Amino acid sequence: MTETEKTIVIRVAQQMADVDAAQWDALGGDDHPFVSHAFLNALEESGSATADTGWMPQHVLIEDAEGKLIGGAPLYLKTHSQGEYIFDHGWAEAFERAGGQYYPKALVAVPFTPATGPRLLVAPGAPETTKQTLLAGCMEVCRRIDISTLHINFLSEEDWQMCGEAGLLQRTSEQFHWVNQGYKTFDDFLADLASRKRKAIRKERLGAMASGELEIETITGSDITEEHWDAFFGFYMDTGSRKWGRPYLTRDFFSRLSATVGDRVVLFMVRRAGRYIAGALNLASSECLYGRYWGCVEDHPFLHFEVCYYRAIDYAIEHGLARVEAGAQGPHKLARGYLPVHTYSAHWIRDGGFRQAVERYLVQEREHIDEEIEYLEGRGPFRKGE
């Protein structure tokens, strides 16, 4: 062990505002908008992810002898399993039927965000074992406050493998991503599809705009105004109330998002007769457009597909982005050029008997996910030997 490794300090920050923003953003996550200090802090300061909403921040930090931040993990104590997109409600029910206490649990994740990215963040030049130390620190937090489980959601495959080597249970899930094969235009993308799928997409795009009444705007950065957010929040609340029962994000969050990471925000807004009636919120990195929220107050045929999927592809092609991640679930995305991919989570379970039961389940679940992805890949919309 080096002198640097001997003198590290592990501590917990109970709010992101207590963490130096520049040092946090230097932990290797600078091109991942969701783990940026600004995004996480906006969730907390807007009242969206706080103890009152069941997300108690307990961010785990590693500092060197000079007090410089060399590692960090966005950790929350959760009193429920909403807003995670990796579903463990059945685990909670089974454990509590057996007399255990599942909540509060610990979660390393970005609240309300099913987007893969760094979860165990380490500064360039930090000791090689810093990531393992950070993981151990997260587990030690759980032990000290008697937490039953630790979950790390939507981490990279490399870190997932590392967590498995450290003894955590490994879980896979499925999403649908569009991959840019060097396309110059949307028609280039269509040319890669089977004839029937190509015609179906063209029909949907024409159908979405067939009334001649709709105008779709792409709005980014400083061009996004509070008027846009007022309209979008109305869509978000309407759709969220119907889908989830209670939307997660406050109106203030969107203003804070725009003020801090507005250059990453891409809004597709739909106007009819001078009034906004639908919209989709995306965030961009240098490689990817992440679709996050869609909402509407009027129903129009194919509009959801046009705004959430096809406009996102248009944007990615125009800006040279490698892929579009259109959010959680959705086999209907397959016909629209979005192919199935694995996503990863890792889980530490304190109770030995419960751990064994979950481990048996996860072996079967991983096999099922592998089989489903292989099946869907064979039924994708792309040309096969034409």
Same domain, 165 and 16: yes
Residue 54 belongs to some domain of the structure:
yes
The tally of domains found in the chain comes to 2
The Cα angle at residue 226 between residues 222 and 227, in degrees rounded to 5: 115
HSE-CB of 240 using CA atoms within 13 angstroms: 17
Same domain, 145 and 287: no
CA distances from 161 to 57, 157, 195, 349 (A): 26, 6, 40, 17
HSE-CB of 283 using CA atoms within 13 angstroms: 21
Residue 255 belongs to some domain of the structure:
yes
Separation of alpha carbons 382 and 197, rounded Å: 8
Q: Which domain holds residue 190?
A: 181-321
Q: And the tokens for 231?
A: 């309209």
- Position 385 scores a pLDDT of 56
Domain end call among 275, 291, 321: 321
Same domain, 16 and 147: yes
Sign of the alpha-carbon dihedral angle for 325, 326, 329, 333: negative
- For 325, counting Cβ atoms within 10 Å of its Cβ (0-12 exposed, 13-18 middle, 19+ buried), the class is buried
What is the DSSP track for 55-109?
A: EEE-EEEEE-TTS-EEEEE-EEEESS-TT-SS--HHHHHHHHHTT----SEEEES
Same domain, 224 and 291: yes
Residue 107 belongs to some domain of the structure:
yes
pLDDT less than 50: residues of the chain: 1, 3-4, 386
Q: And the tokens for 50?
A: 């706080």
Same domain, 169 and 188: no
Same domain, 194 and 93: no
Residue 382 belongs to some domain of the structure:
no
* Amino acid at site 53: T
Residue 262 belongs to some domain of the structure:
yes
Same domain, 36 and 63: yes
Same domain, 201 and 287: yes
Same domain, 252 and 277: yes
- Position 238 scores a pLDDT of 84
- Position 4 scores a pLDDT of 47
Residue 23 belongs to some domain of the structure:
yes
We report the CATH number of the domain holding residue 295 as 3.40.630.30
- Position 245 scores a pLDDT of 59
Same domain, 63 and 189: no
Closest CA to 14 of 71, 42, 55: 55
Residue with tokens 């579903």: 87
Give residue-wise pLDDT tens across range 67-79: 999 999 999 999 9
Same domain, 145 and 194: no
Evaluate whether 106 touches 149 at the Cβ level (below 8 Å): yes
* Amino acid at site 155: L
- Position 240 scores a pLDDT of 66
| pTM exceeding the 0.85 threshold for the entire prediction | yes
Residue 334 belongs to some domain of the structure:
no
Longest CA–CA span in the chain (Å) reads 70
Q: Which DSSP category does 382 fall into?
A: B
Residue 168 belongs to some domain of the structure:
yes
Q: And the tokens for 211?
A: 């009334």
Separation of alpha carbons 234 and 236, rounded Å: 5
Give residue-wise pLDDT tens across range 201-260: 999 999 999 999 999 999 999 999 999 999 999 999 987 666 655 789 999 999 999 999
Same domain, 349 and 249: no
